[in-house]
């Protein structure tokens, strides 16, 4: 008898019965066949006279055997499954590297349709081709029908005819018409889907003169990537692989500007070469490099995927960007600081400025990450990387206690969009609460109301960091002006102009929810949390977060936090714990168990060795 936990509507075996009569059947109200049988039947279609009348046997195109080619090496697991709930028969071939599935079914809604589908999926990292064979034994002949091949119809083969012998003398001979699609002799899974980047208006937009022509900007790396990484690290890796594939173009961009290393295009398409229609942006908005590096940094901390960096080109990107920064800065003997001159910050109302604070902080962050990664990979760390990181100028006004956007910026000058307020989040940069507040207040008052949609979400995140839910919510609500009815399509600008289906604005808004309310920050040591319920919201739940092979739920209300590790990808995924602040208490997080504690800040991190065993086991309960 089947285990009570198994679905009683599904029957599974690893081989077929020796008697073909006992193989599974698939039928609906009109068509029916046995799997791997050479005939099918149509309801009401008979051949033969009087006592010899029987269902007419039509040749079945579904008699296709799924096989792995010889010499695959590894022993395959074969599974045959009949799902009586869906009416599908499934044949699966599987080893450690791939799974091939063949599904045979009679369509429930379209009774004139019998269907066969084959799917191939990769179960392990790799890009080599995977091939399975499809053995078909179809012949358009029948002992019960006079059949003829007709002209192909919309890519399908056509067979028609009639029964040979009517049931009664002089009776009608029943007509049949059949369309089928021949199967190929083999099916090969190649490299699979290759990501070509995310553009501000998405794949549905981007024709000439529309939504930035489908080009890829910093929008992908800074505004969209953190959300993707939070739930789908494999998709996040695909976005990074786009940057790896276009590194050659980035190297050429740097050479064309007279610098070393790689300069990623402000507007990138297939090659990675600069395709921005206006030269000034491609030459001056070099902060794109910092956004690309930040994406690689977040991915590394979140996944510890060393393979991407050691074998798949990630290190080449990181080191090339570090070299660009070191060749682009200039030493100021008077200040004994490195300067970055002639740039355009995210605030595109100002060009050709010196020492954009946002850009220079990204230079620091990029070089320090490159140095730390080099140590992890056993690579030498060029002394210049850390020297530039430590000595680059980060403008700060001691008198007014805020960061001027660039050298010479005067409070009151209008700015286009979020710029300095990106320091702290999403750009990791230590700020005192007082300075963070001053930056927010000064730039909120001068940011253009015509600016792009993602701006106000970052102001909201800043006020959430400062535990001011009223002010945060008011700014977050300003984003709603960019959402159009009735399908909630986002526009770049509040007046409806600019890019539509504006993924950048959606990305900023989603980050406010995922990283603002929760206080989540991906760091080298773990995922920091510092939750805050927005006004009028009783609780927040983020379900399906991914961190180093663990899937977890993070929820909180005003007085408590709950964390549950739902699944672990495998034995390589480390046990986790929650360290609470300021008490430094460490709580094991065993899979499948909810762990709750009073609302506080803390960090989800790898369990220390003495706690690792506890984090892998359910908590003890008293009797």
- Cα angle for residues 56, 62, 63 (degrees, 5° grid): 90
CA distances from 585 to 334, 559, 581, 598, 616 (A): 48, 18, 7, 12, 18
Tokens 């008077």 -> residue: 334
Closest to 396 measured CA to CA, from 377, 420, 368, 416: 420
Closest to 308 measured CA to CA, from 390, 389, 217, 243: 243
Segment 265-273 long-range contacts (CB within 8 Å, at least 24 positions apart): 265/216, 266/217, 266/218, 267/212, 267/213, 267/215, 267/216, 267/217, 268/197, 268/215, 268/216, 268/217, 269/214, 269/215, 269/216, 270/196, 270/246, 271/246, 272/245, 272/246, 272/247, 272/248, 273/249
- Cα angle for residues 159, 161, 162 (degrees, 5° grid): 150
**Residues 367, 311, 230, 593, CA torsion sign:** negative
d(CA 234, CA 465): 29
Residues forming the active site: 348
The per-residue DSSP string of 407-445 comes to: TT--TT--BSS-SGGGBTTTB-----HHHHHHHHHHHHT
CA atoms within 13 A on the CB side of 161: 19
d(CA 360, CA 193): 36
Q: What ranges make up the beta strands (E) of 450-549?
A: 483-484, 489-490, 521-522, 527-529, 539-547
Strands 330-332 and 54-55: unpaired
- The answer to whether residues 433 and 462 touch, using CB atoms and an 8 Å cutoff, is no
d(CA 70, CA 62): 23
User: Could you give the dihedral angle defined by the CA atoms of residues 560, 551, 196 and 508, in that order, rounded to the nearest 10 degrees?
Assistant: 0
Other CB atoms closer than 10 Å to residue 199's CB: what's the count?
A: 26
Residue ranges of alpha helices (H) inside 258-343 are: 279-284, 287-303, 306-310, 314-328
The 3-state DSSP class for residue 336 equals coil
- The answer to whether residues 619 and 589 touch, using CB atoms and an 8 Å cutoff, is no
H helix and E strand count, the chain: 15, 30
The 3-state DSSP class for residue 596 equals strand
Q: 105 is written with which tokens?
A: 């079914």
């Amino acid at each position: 008898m089947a285990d009570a936990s198994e679905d009683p509507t599904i029957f599974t075996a690893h081989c077929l019965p020796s008697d073909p009569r006992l193989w599974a059947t698939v039928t609906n109200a009109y068509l029916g066949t046995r799997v791997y049988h050479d005939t099918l039947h149509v309801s009401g279609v008979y051949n033969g006279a009087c006592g010899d009348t029987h269902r007419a046997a039509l040749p079945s195109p579904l008699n296709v055997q799924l096989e792995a080619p010889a010499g695959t090496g590894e022993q395959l697991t074969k599974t045959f499954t009949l799902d009586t709930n869906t009416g599908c028969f499934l044949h699966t071939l599987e080893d450690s590297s791939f799974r091939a599935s063949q599904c045979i079914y009679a369509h429930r809604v379209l009774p004139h349709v019998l269907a066969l589908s084959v799917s191939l999926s990769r179960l392990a990292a790799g890009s080599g081709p995977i091939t399975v064979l499809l053995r078909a034994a179809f012949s358009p002949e029948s002992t019960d029908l006079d059949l003829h091949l007709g002209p192909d119809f919309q890519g399908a083969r056509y067979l028609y005819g009639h029964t040979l012998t009517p049931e009664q003398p002089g009776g009608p001979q029943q007509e049949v018409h059949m369309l089928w699609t021949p199967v190929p002799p083999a099916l090969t899974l190649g490299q699979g889907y290759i990501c070509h980047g995310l553009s501000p208006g998405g794949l549905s937009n981007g024709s000439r003169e529309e939504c930035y022509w489908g080009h890829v900007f910093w929008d992908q790396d800074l505004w969209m990537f953190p959300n993707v990484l939070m739930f789908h690290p494999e998709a996040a890796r695909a976005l990074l692989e786009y940057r790896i594939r276009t590194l050659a173009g980035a190297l050429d961009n740097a050479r064309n500007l007279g610098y070393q290393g790689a300069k990623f295009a402000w507007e990138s398409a297939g090659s990675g070469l600069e395709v921005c229609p206006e030269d000034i942006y491609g030459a001056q908005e070099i902060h794109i490099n910092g956004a690309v590096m930040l994406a690689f940094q977040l991915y590394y901390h979140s996944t510890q995927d060393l393979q991407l960096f050691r074998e798949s080109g990630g290190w080449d990107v990181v080191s090339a960007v570090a070299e660009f920064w070191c060749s682009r800065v200039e030493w100021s003997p008077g200040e004994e600081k490195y300067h970055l001159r002639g740039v355009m910050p995210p605030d595109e109302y100002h060009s050709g400025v010196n020492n954009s604070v946002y850009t220079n902080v990204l230079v620091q962050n990029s070089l320090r990450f490159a140095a730390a990664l080099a140590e992890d990979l056993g690579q030498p760390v060029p002394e210049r990387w850390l020297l530039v990181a430590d000595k680059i100028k980060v403008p700060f006004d001691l008198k007014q206690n805020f960061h001027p956007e660039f050298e010479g910026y005067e409070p009151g000058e209008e700015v286009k969009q979020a710029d300095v307020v990106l320091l702290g989040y999403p750009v990791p940069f230590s700020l005192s609460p007082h300075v963070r507040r001053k930056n927010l207040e000064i730039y909120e008052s001068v940011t253009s109301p015509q600016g792009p949609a993602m701006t106000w979400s970052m102001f909201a995140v800043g006020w959430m960091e400062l535990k001011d839910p009223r002010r945060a919510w008011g700014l977050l609500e300003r984003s709603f002006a960019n959402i159009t009815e009735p399908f909630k399509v986002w526009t770049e600008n509040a007046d409806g102009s600019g890019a539509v289906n504006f993924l950048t604005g959606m990305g900023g808004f989603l980050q406010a929810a995922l990283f603002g309310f929760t206080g989540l920050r991906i760091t080298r040591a773990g995922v920091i949390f510092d939750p805050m319920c927005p006004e009028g919201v009783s609780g927040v739940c983020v379900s399906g977060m991914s961190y180093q092979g663990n899937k977890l739920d993070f929820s909180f209300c005003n007085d408590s936090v709950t964390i549950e590790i739902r699944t672990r990808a495998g034995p390589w995924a480390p046990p986790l714990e929650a360290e609470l602040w300021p008490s430094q208490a460490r709580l094991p997080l065993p899979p499948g168990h909810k762990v709750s504690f009073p609302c506080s800040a803390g960090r989800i991190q790898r369990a220390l060795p003495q706690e690792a065993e506890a984090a892998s086991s359910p908590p003890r309960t008293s009797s």
